[in-house]
Structures are given as structure tokens and as C-alpha cells.
A = this chain, B = another copy of it.
């Protein structure tokens, strides 16, 4: 059994959302699993010296246009959220907590949170929203609320972000296939090819 493909993303990343819609299907075509790894782009940007695309002159206007056009290219439902970017600690912590007991459900929750934010345009930053969306999927709201306040879960996310930095993760999405890194939703065709032919 090969190691899973590592799929790093921030829940506030439009390109992360788009890639999330395809990464498992691409992996499955090659008999591979994907480990989803939500991280905090703020910490990555702090290390890399970058700022948000949308806040940059020239690139800001282009990126807003490209988010929407890329979504149509992916044939994905999309609207620019009215609140952007957002803090995604609660979403990420909920994912890691649930992932320890039910990885399949954790991925469904992540997909749901992405859809709420980028397809419905609703802010998913608050614990209340994350808990409410979890509840719809059968996740015990009291247990999730306790988890979101648990220092161990907070530490877990911090460790995952540190691990990401060690691996060189410099943006979202950032996919690692057997040690080979691919940054961007626009590298999924290369991810597919790498899985197929093992490099070029």
C-alpha cells in the first residue's frame, strides 16, 4: 500500500476549493488515496513573505477574475464570498478532530464547508457555523464544540502547519505525490500524469 497523496489547502482558498472537487477522483483512477491536510495560509505567508493575491495591485484584480473563470473551467458552483478571506482555524480543527475517528466523514465535512463558503458564499469562520454544518452530517455538536476548544486539537493544527512548512508548502492547494510537490489547482493535470507515469 503506497503512502497517501498529501493534499494541503486552506478552507479560505478558492483554488483549494476547486482542486478539492477533483483530487480524490484523480487519485482513485490510479488506485491511490488522498490525505486532506487543511492548513492556515496566514502562517505560510508569514514564512514566505507573501501577501494575499487579492490584496496585491494588478494581481488582485486579475485573481478575482481568474477565481470565477477557473470555477467555470472546473464546471464548479462558485460565488465570491462577501467576507474574504476568513479565519479557518475552526474548520481545520474540526477536520482533524473528526479525521481521527472517521476519516471518510471528515472529508465529507470538509467538502461541505468548502461548498458553504464558495458555492453558497456564506462565512464559515465561526465555531457555530462549523458545528451546525457538522450536525447536518450527523456529527455530535456538543463533542465537536468541546473539540474546538480543546488545546490538544489546537496544538494538532499548529503541528500540521509546521509540518507543511517543513515540506515546503508555499500556497494552496499544494499536492505532494510520493515526495513530488505540485502547487496550484492548475497543476492537477500534472498530478494525474505523475501518478500515471511516475514522473517525467
Contacts and interface: CB of A to CB of B under 8 A. Distances in A.
Given A73-B190, A187-B186, A200-B73, A168 B61 contact: yes
A47 to B, nearest CB: 6
Interface in A67-123: 69, 72-73
A44 B62 CA distance: 14
Given A59-B170, A66-B183, A69-B200, 8 more contacts: A44-B58, A47-B58, A49-B57, A62-B170, A62-B183, A73-B193, A184-B186, A189-B189
Interface of A: 44, 47-51, 56-59, 61-62, 65-66, 69, 72-73, 165, 168-171, 181, 183-184, 186-187, 189-190, 193, 200
Contacts of A44: 58
Q: In the complex this chain forms, how many copies of it are found? A: 2
Contacts of A170: 56, 58-59, 62
22 contacts: A47-B57, A47-B58, A48-B56, A48-B58, A49-B51, A49-B57, A50-B59, A56-B170, A58-B165, A58-B168, A58-B170, A59-B170, A59-B171, A62-B168, A62-B170, A62-B183, A65-B181, A66-B183, A69-B190, A73-B190, A73-B193, A186-B186
A61 B165 CA distance: 12
A19 to B, nearest CB: 13
A71 to B, nearest CB: 10
Nearest to A44: B58
Given A47-B57, A48-B57, A200 B72 contact: yes
Contacts of A57: 47-49
A80 to B, nearest CB: 18
